[in-house]
């Protein structure tokens, strides 16, 4: 069996059962004027990982492996948005408000879109999720079962919130999860570091983490 060099130990790579899940690489989280910026965050931290996320996506495409994208967003009537979530963080722009790129985190609005450099291509699944985790109130579980997927490589933002939440949801459902360290980011570097430590602690209790080059090396030769 092929392996991907990882921490805390090698990840057992099964080519027919693996997919890349790219979490929430959206304009609202990465561009000035979006929801991330309205919370006072330095969105430049997110845009810096775009080249590595793009390289990881292309590596999976070149290897003929599935790529799945997620977008955090809500219905225009806000029927799937809890009041507690809308009010959280005291942002200058709340979810559903009009912003520079349309209504904040609303399905179909320009700011909700995935960054153009990372846009899905024909045939790639896009999951619209109303929560932090990609399994909550979505069809992701069904999609993975239909494709025979048991292993997930994860990338995207933010490491400690939507990415880690999705990994924990996947872990509880029996998936083996590998986080690409260069292809994920937080607005707070110390949060990213802490999340990575938690994920791979106690013998990969939540999942593994790996360098992008080690992931691409294995999938390109397997």
Specify the DSSP class assigned to residue 74.
Answer: B
- Given a contact cutoff of 8 angstroms between Cβ atoms, the answer to whether 214 and 153 are in contact is no
Positive or negative: CA dihedral 50, 56, 61, 66: negative
The span from the CA of 203 to the CA of 183, in Å, is 22
The span from the CA of 51 to the CA of 117, in Å, is 9
The span from the CA of 135 to the CA of 120, in Å, is 19
| Residue numbers annotated as active site | 24, 129, 162
| Tokens 């939507």 found at | 162
The span from the CA of 49 to the CA of 51, in Å, is 6
Pairing assessment for the beta strands 151-157 and 176-185 based on DSSP bridges: parallel
């Amino acid at each position: 069996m092929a392996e991907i060099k990882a921490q805390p130990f090698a990840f057992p790579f099964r080519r027919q059962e693996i997919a890349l899940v790219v979490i929430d690489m959206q304009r609202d989280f990465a561009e000035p004027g979006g929801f991330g910026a309205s919370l006072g965050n330095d969105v430049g931290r997110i845009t810096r990982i775009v080249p590595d996320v793009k390289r990881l996506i292309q590596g999976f495409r070149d290897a003929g492996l599935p790529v799945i994208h997620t977008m955090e967003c809500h219905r225009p009537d806000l029927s799937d948005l809890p009041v507690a979530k809308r009010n959280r963080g005291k942002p200058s722009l709340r979810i559903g408000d009009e912003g520079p790129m349309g209504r904040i985190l609303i399905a179909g609005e320009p700011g909700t879109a995935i960054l153009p450099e990372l846009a899905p291509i024909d045939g790639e699944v896009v999951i619209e999720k109303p929560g932090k985790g990609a399994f909550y109130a979505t069809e992701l579980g069904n999609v993975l079962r239909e494709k025979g997927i048991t292993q997930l490589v994860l990338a995207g933002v933010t490491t400690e919130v939507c990415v880690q939440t999705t990994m924990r949801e996947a872990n509880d459902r029996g998936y083996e999860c590998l986080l690409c360290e260069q292809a994920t980011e937080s607005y707070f570097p110390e949060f990213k570091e802490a999340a990575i430590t938690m994920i791979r602690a106690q013998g990969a209790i939540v999942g593994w983490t790996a360098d992008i080059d080690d992931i691409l090396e294995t999938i390109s030769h397997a």
